[in-house]
């Protein structure tokens, strides 16, 4: 690993494409600041929920310590909450990571690993009941685009991961850089982390 912030994205069969590649598009605009890596339990090719597959950089047994951990959601999280190897790897990485982040139902994995105990967090509003059932030790936020609790950043469903990634870029670099990344990506960044129309759509508020 270099002096750049290493971002380790944990993948599993059935991960959500945009949960992963939306944030990586944002971080990837700043190659001098971020080094992006894909990790999975066996370090093999992993299929997304939508079908396209990704080639991994590391398996759990060969991965370095990452500065930032990114956990996506997707249908595979329903299975992976019962995967002790993945949960233990998350705990091990989180111990020394500068930032621990999730998109969508990825927060279910963090919660099941005990990493969100006593913290504020959010998740995909369409899957809110299932995710929150994974732990009653988390202060789950029904209305939030993303939530920051010290070094833990959790975001709502799918596209919200890009808003969270830009917020992280703003914190790590500066606000102007984050705005420039959004412009380069032709993405309309929702800078208000409490902007969440989907909480009402899914009858949470």
| pLDDT digit string, tens, across residues 114-158 | 999 999 999 999 999 999 999 999 999 999 999 999 999 999 999
Give domain status of residue 203, yes or no. Answer: no
Give domain status of residue 11, yes or no. Answer: yes
Active-site residue among 20, 104, 168, 199? 104
Which residue range forms the structural domain that includes residue 180? 5-197
pTM metric for this prediction: 0.96
Give domain status of residue 89, yes or no. Answer: yes
Give domain status of residue 204, yes or no. Answer: no
52-103 pLDDT tens trace: 999 999 999 999 999 999 999 999 999 999 999 999 999 999 999 999 999 9
3-state secondary structure string across 39-54: EECCCCCEEECCCCEE
State how beta strands 34-40 and 46-47 pair: unpaired
Give domain status of residue 132, yes or no. Answer: yes
pLDDT at 106: 98
Count: domains in the chain: 1
* Residue 70 near residue 103, CB atoms below 8 Å: yes
For residue 157, give the CATH number of its domain: 3.40.50.880
* Residue 106 near residue 160, CB atoms below 8 Å: no
Give domain status of residue 205, yes or no. Answer: no
- The CA R_g of the chain, rounded to the nearest whole Å, is 15
The answer to whether residue 104 is catalytic is: yes
pLDDT at 43: 77
Q: What six digits make up the tokens of 142?
A: 């029904």
Give domain status of residue 30, yes or no. Answer: yes
Distance CA 32, CA 132 (A): 37
How confident is residue 1, by pLDDT bands cut at 50, 70 and 90?
Answer: very low
Give domain status of residue 202, yes or no. Answer: no
């Amino acid at each position: 690993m270099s002096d750049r912030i290493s971002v380790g994205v944990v993948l599993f069969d059935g991960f959500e494409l945009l949960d992963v590649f939306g944030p990586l598009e944002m971080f990837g605009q700043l190659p001098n600041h971020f080094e992006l890596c894909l990790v999975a339990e066996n370090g093999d090719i992993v299929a997304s929920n939508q079908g396209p597959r990704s080639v991994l950089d590391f398996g759990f047994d060969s991965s370095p310590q990452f500065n930032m951990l990114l956990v996506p959601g997707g249908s595979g999280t329903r299975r992976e909450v019962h995967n002790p190897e993945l949960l233990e790897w998350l705990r091990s990485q989180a111990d020394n990571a500068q930032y621990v982040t999730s998109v969508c139902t990825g927060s279910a994995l963090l919660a099941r690993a005990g990493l969100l105990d006593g913290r504020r967090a959010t998740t995909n509003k369409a899957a809110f009941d299932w995710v929150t059932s994974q732990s009653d030790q988390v202060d789950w936020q029904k209305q939030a685009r993303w939530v920051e609790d010290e070094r833990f950043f959790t975001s709502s469903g799918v596209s919200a991961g890009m808003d969270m990634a830009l917020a992280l870029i703003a914190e790590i670099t500066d606000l102007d850089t984050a705005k420039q990344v959004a412009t380069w990506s032709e993405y309309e960044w929702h800078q208000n982390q409490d902007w969440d129309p989907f909480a009402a759509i899914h009858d949470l508020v």
